[in-house]
Amino acid sequence: MPLVTTKEMFQKAYGNYAVGAFNVNNMEIVQGITEAAMEENAPVILQVSAGARKYAKHIYLMKLIEAAVADTGVPIAVHLDHGADFEICKDCIDGGFTSVMIDGSKYSFEENVELTKRVVDYAHERGVVVEAELGKLAGIEDAVVVSEADAAFTDPDQAAEFVHRTGCDSLAIAIGTSHGAYKFKGEPKLRFDILEKVTKVLPNTPIVLHGASTVMPEFVKQCNEYGGQLPGAQGVPEDMLHKAGTMGVCKINIDTDLRLAMTASIRKFFAEHPDKFDPREYLSPARAAIKDMVKHKMRDVLGCSGKA
Ligand code: G3H
Ligand code: 13P
Ligand code: ZN
Contact residues for 144 (Cβ-Cβ < 8 A; gap 6+)? none
Over the chain, what is the mean pLDDT?
96
Report whether residue 20 contacts ligand 2, using a CB cutoff of 6 Å. no
99 found inside a domain: yes
Report whether residue 260 contacts ligand 2, using a CB cutoff of 6 Å. no
To test the pocket of ligand 1, the residue of 26, 79, 82 to mutate (highest count of ligand atoms within 8 Å of its CB) is 82
From the number of C-beta atoms within 10 Å of its C-beta (0-12, 13-18, 19+), residue 91 rates as middle
pLDDT value of residue 188: 96
What average pLDDT does range 20-32 have in this prediction? 98
**Is pLDDT above 90 for 100?**
yes
CA–CA distance, 76 with 68 (Å, rounded to integer): 9
User: What is the per-residue pLDDT across 107-125, written as a single tens digit (0 to 9) for each?
Assistant: 999 999 999 999 999 999 9
Q: Is 153:134 a contact under the CB 8 Å cutoff? A: no
Output DSSP code: residue 131.
E
User: What is the per-residue pLDDT across 233-261, written as a single tens digit (0 to 9) for each?
Assistant: 999 999 999 999 999 999 999 999 999 99
Distances from the Cα of 174 to the Cα of 155, 164, 197, 231, angstroms? 9, 19, 13, 25
CA–CA distance, 175 with 106 (Å, rounded to integer): 16
76 SS3 class: strand
- Over the range 275-298, which residues count as b (16 or more CB within 10 Å of their CB) and which as e? eeeeeeebbeebbbbbbebbbbbb
**CA proximity to 159, closest of 248, 254, 50:** 248
Domain region containing 223: 7-301
Closest atom, ligand 1, to C-alpha of 211 = 1
Specify the CATH number for the domain of residue 135: 3.20.20.70
To test the pocket of ligand 1, the residue of 26, 48, 61, 141 to mutate (highest count of ligand atoms within 8 Å of its CB) is 141
Closest atom, ligand 1, to C-alpha of 210 = 1
Report whether residue 103 contacts ligand 2, using a CB cutoff of 6 Å. no
- What percent of the chain is modeled with pLDDT above 70? 95
308 found inside a domain: no
Contact residues for 33 (Cβ-Cβ < 8 A; gap 6+)? 22, 24, 44, 46, 258, 290, 291, 294
CA of 99 to the centre of ligand 1 (A): 17
pLDDT value of residue 139: 66
pLDDT value of residue 146: 67
Total count of domains within the chain: 1
Closest atom, ligand 1, to C-alpha of 179 = 1
Distances from the Cα of 31 to the Cα of 58, 246, 254, angstroms? 17, 28, 16
Q: Is 39:63 a contact under the CB 8 Å cutoff? A: no
Q: Is 81 part of the annotated catalytic residue set?
A: yes
Within 10 A of 262 (CB to CB), how many other CB atoms are there? 24
**Is pLDDT above 90 for 1?**
no
User: What is the per-residue pLDDT across 27-82, written as a single tens digit (0 to 9) for each?
Assistant: 999 999 999 999 999 999 999 999 999 999 999 999 999 999 999 999 999 999 99
What average pLDDT does range 13-32 have in this prediction? 98
115 found inside a domain: yes
User: What is the per-residue pLDDT across 177-189, written as a single tens digit (0 to 9) for each?
Assistant: 999 999 999 999 9
pLDDT value of residue 150: 63
Residue nearest ligand 1's atom 7 by CA: 142
Backbone angles phi, psi at 172, to 5 degrees: -85, 130
Of the chain, the end-to-end C-alpha distance in Å amounts to 11
Tell me the ligand closest to 213's alpha carbon.
Answer: 2
Q: Say which range, 8-17, 82-91, 144-153, has the weakest mean pLDDT.
A: 144-153
238 found inside a domain: yes
2 found inside a domain: no
Q: Is 258:29 a contact under the CB 8 Å cutoff? A: yes
306 found inside a domain: no
**Is pLDDT above 90 for 2?**
no
Contact residues for 119 (Cβ-Cβ < 8 A; gap 6+)? 83, 86, 89, 90, 100, 102, 130
Point out the catalytic residue in the list 71, 81, 103, 157: 81
User: What is the per-residue pLDDT across 195-210, written as a single tens digit (0 to 9) for each?
Assistant: 999 999 999 999 999 9
307 found inside a domain: no
- Beta bridge pairs of residue 6: none
58 found inside a domain: yes
Report whether residue 176 contacts ligand 2, using a CB cutoff of 6 Å. no
CA–CA distance, 75 with 106 (Å, rounded to integer): 32
